[in-house]
Amino acid sequence: MQDLYIQAEAFISSMQQFEDCPSNAEKWKQRLSSIKQSIETTGTYRHTKEELTFGAKLAWRNSNRCIGRHFWRQLDVFDCRTLNTKETILKALEDHLVYSFNKGAIKSAVTIFAPKSNIPESSDPVRILNHQLIRYAGFKKNDGAVLGDPHSLKFTEALEKHGWQPQEKTQFTPMPWWIQIDGEIQDPYPVLEEKPHLLTEVEIEHPENIAFKELGLKWYSTPILSDMALKIGGIHYPCAPFNGWYMGTEIGARNLADENRYNYLPKIAEIFHLDTKSNRSLWRDRVIIELNRAVLHSFDRKKIKIGDHHALTRQFEKFCENEAKSKCPVTGDWSWLVPPISASQTPTFSQEFDPTVVQHTNFFYQASPLEQDQNSRKSKGKCPYHIN
């Protein structure tokens, strides 16, 4: 409880510092004393709408691994703390999808559901089990290979065990939403199969090589992370799906390229008639650049917002400079802020970052309700990026 007040105080003092008119000291003093009283009598406190909105923005600002934080003040925050039925929760998620896509001019948004209660061992009021609101399934084939995204393999298996019957199984089958309310798991809801207009995707084609599109590659428009926890001033929101827009390399240098993901580089090398016998020919490096050009080109053609690693790292550098000038230095995780291709060609490569993870207000990883293993929960509990 003492700890909660300390975190609330740290949050309120950041809020005061960032506000246009920080001089209104009396107002903040009063707010802190009402928080203190609330914690003493009820064990917790409730954020005002302004605190919730600013808190979510600050949590984004404090996210060490995010390169897009320059725009942290432009986050749209939807307060859904009172929703507690399956229908209203799913509707709020559909609304988030449409709002954030914004016909391609993607907007950063977060939808915040009820906070965790302070009663020990109580279930989370709302949880989304999916890693992202749009994500492709991974199906194990008879020969052991995976059809679709290997990252989704375990989750897909669990969904099928709980009754999900995909209309068809393809390389890019969107998964249903799977939510839990007050500890009760609900039936998977195949929203993107039932309402295909909500699924916005981009077919990947290459600016010059016309054979490229025969690979049938595509990716979805908007990354909406739905399994992380949001903490604001010590209050824990276990369900707060949020989105930004993609940086091309996330798709072109990881999702479609990693050997343990879609692993498309060897197939793309064939399209470009490259000899793949020896890595020393740098065929991988040549192909990964072509794939990344194709990703950016295809999103641009469809007028769906996407960043490239040159522009985003420069923008991030600017953000760090501005924040340092206003005496609010930024914390960061170098290994995430450096792009996975052409690292040395971007300014983050030669920058140093303070790796402190701000604990009172941030986004955190959290154990999935599907994950029963208490030991793995405990070991993750020691990582500063996991909520304890």
According to DSSP, residue 160 is labeled H
Q: Write down the least CB distance from residue 78 to ligand ARG, Å.
A: 17
**Is-catalytic flag, 250?**
yes
Closest CA to 361 of 44, 13, 122, 49: 13
By CB under 6 A, which span of 189-197, 240-248, 267-275, 355-363 interacts with ligand ARG?
A: 240-248
Q: Write down the least CB distance from residue 71 to ligand ARG, Å.
A: 11
Cβ pair 17, 28 in contact under 8 A: no
Cβ pair 368, 227 in contact under 8 A: yes
Q: Which of 51, 61, 135, 250 is catalytic?
A: 250
Footprint (CB under 6 A) of ligand ARG, residues 248-267: 250, 255
Which residue from 78, 177, 246, 316 is in contact with ligand ARG, where contact means CB under 6 A?
A: 246
Using alpha carbons only, how large is the chain's radius of gyration in Å? 22
Q: How far is CA 91 from CA 88, 94, 98, 191, in A?
A: 5, 5, 11, 10
Q: Write down the least CB distance from residue 140 to ligand ARG, Å.
A: 21
By CB under 6 A, which span of 7-15, 83-91, 243-251, 309-317 interacts with ligand ARG?
A: 243-251
**Is-catalytic flag, 69?**
yes
Cβ pair 134, 174 in contact under 8 A: yes
Q: How far apart are CA 218 and CA 134, in angstroms?
A: 13
By CB under 6 A, which span of 165-173, 246-254, 282-290, 311-319 interacts with ligand ARG?
A: 246-254
Q: Write down the least CB distance from residue 67 to ligand ARG, Å.
A: 8
Which residue from 244, 248, 252, 332 is in contact with ligand ARG, where contact means CB under 6 A?
A: 244
Q: How far apart are CA 139 and CA 169, in angstroms?
A: 8
Instruction: Give yes or no for residue 247 binding ligand ARG (CB under 6 A).
Output: yes
Element (H, E) at 131: none
Nearer to ligand ARG, 1 or 383 (CB): 383
Which residue type sits at 225? L
Beta-bridge partners for 364:
229
Instruction: Give yes or no for residue 133 binding ligand ARG (CB under 6 A).
Output: no
Which residues of the chain form contacts with ligand ARG (CB under 6 A)? 223, 225, 244-247, 250, 255
Residues acting as catalytic residues: 66, 69, 245, 250
